Amino acid sequence: MLSARFKPYHVPMFIAKYLWYVARRRPVLVHFEVTARCNARCAFCDFWKTPASARQYEVESFADAARYFNPMLVTWTGGEPLLRRDLEELVAAVDRVPGLRYTTLITHGGMLTPERASSLWRAGIHQFNISLDYLDGRHDDARGIPGLTAKIFAVVEGMRARGIDNIRFNTVIKDDNLDQLMPIVERASALGCGVNFSVYTDAKNGNREHLLDAEHHAAVDDAIARLLAYKRRRRGVITSSDAYLERIPRYVRGEITEPCRSGLRTIHLDPTGHVKRCPDFPTDFHWRDFRKYEPIACNKCFYACRGEAQAPLEWSRVQDVMGRPHAMQ
Ligand code: SF4
Ligand code: SF4
């Protein structure tokens, strides 16, 4: 699914830019981590432990970095990016940088309102990705935000009513939400939204509680088969690539052994403007001193940002981009 702000003729332009960057070994996707602060309380991530004083080190603009890398894709993330009151200014400054670019915002959604979403949409966000791992109260508990799930659905309806046509749920596949994946897809479809999947690992802070170990392998196979079957029937709701989904059962069995290519197609800039190859590695240099990364022998995660970057560009990927979820009922 692609926002109606983009036309079908943009797709070959994006593909051409993508192929050019891959050939030149330049990052296609740059994540701007605007803050390491977060007001959730996830047990599998330590961002929320970042002291409020870290705010003083957060850069005031990512526009020069956007000009330098001129990436095809920009993702605004954190921590919780909505904690930055100047987020619209950050987004708008990058939006003014010339270049064909697709811009996403990742949020837990707890502070998102239709009004704030509209103002970010006007500033240049093309896609909102809201974390959603369960449809029931477990999501509120996991994020430590009472009422979060109900708030997300209310905000999404308000956003859709304001013409924001590109909202996705980011769903992390864990040991205890395999039964939630298809219901989340169906709910997303009813709301006119998409779903991006990723896989839980303990790479963030060593929390092994939700790992998909041997006792879950058969259930993972079944859940992934259902997602792929759904995709074959209808494109545009599940926005994870077929190739990525197909490899998840192999990853949880420990069968994916090739080096990780994080840092080649995707990089992360931390809130101070320093570059890291992936969300869970330390920074290596300031973006002004950027040096190209090489593949690394690390297999700690199979996040979408790793698996999708390594997924081949197949025709089904283009179909995913061109497909539309059902309109809101
Ligand atoms: S996973 Fe996201 S919402 Fe949870 S603490 Fe980390 S940054 Fe915050
Ligand atoms: S596998 Fe790659 S993306 Fe994952 S933690 Fe290791 S280097 Fe980072």
Per-residue pLDDT in tens (0 to 9) along the chain, 329 residues: 567 788 888 988 998 999 999 899 999 999 999 999 999 999 999 999 999 999 999 999 999 999 999 999 999 999 999 999 999 999 999 999 999 999 999 999 999 999 999 999 999 999 999 999 999 889 999 999 999 999 999 999 999 999 999 999 999 999 999 999 999 999 999 999 999 999 999 999 999 999 999 999 999 999 999 999 999 999 999 999 999 999 999 999 999 988 999 999 999 999 999 999 999 999 999 999 999 999 999 999 998 888 887 777 777 777 777 676 654 43
Vertex 102 angle, CA 184 and 153, to 5°:
25
Tally the C-alpha atoms within 13 A of residue 206's C-alpha that lie toward its C-beta.
0
C-alpha pair distances (Å), 260 with each of 213, 242, 248, 264, 301: 21, 19, 15, 9, 9
User: From ligand 1's centre to the CA of 23, what distance in Å?
Assistant: 34
User: How many other C-beta atoms lie within 10 A of the C-beta of residue 148?
Assistant: 21
Pocket perturbation via mutation, ligand 1, pick of 35, 37, 48 by most ligand atoms within 8 A of CB: 48
Q: What domains are defined for the chain? A: 10-322 (3.20.20.70)
Q: Whose CA is nearest to atom 1 of ligand 1?
A: 45
User: From ligand 1's centre to the CA of 157, what distance in Å?
Assistant: 23
With contact defined as beta carbons under 8 Å apart, do 170 and 131 qualify? Answer: yes
Q: Rounded distance, CA 280 to CA 270, Å? A: 11
pTM of the model: 0.94
Q: SS3 for 316?
A: helix
**Amino acid in position 316:** S
Q: Whose CA is nearest to atom 4 of ligand 1?
A: 42
With contact defined as beta carbons under 8 Å apart, do 299 and 257 qualify? Answer: yes
Beta strands in the chain (DSSP E): 29-33, 73-77, 102-107, 127-131, 167-173, 194-199, 266-269, 274-276, 285-286
Q: CB of 256 closer than 6 A to ligand 2?
A: no
Q: CB of 310 closer than 6 A to ligand 2?
A: no
Q: CB of 300 closer than 6 A to ligand 2?
A: yes
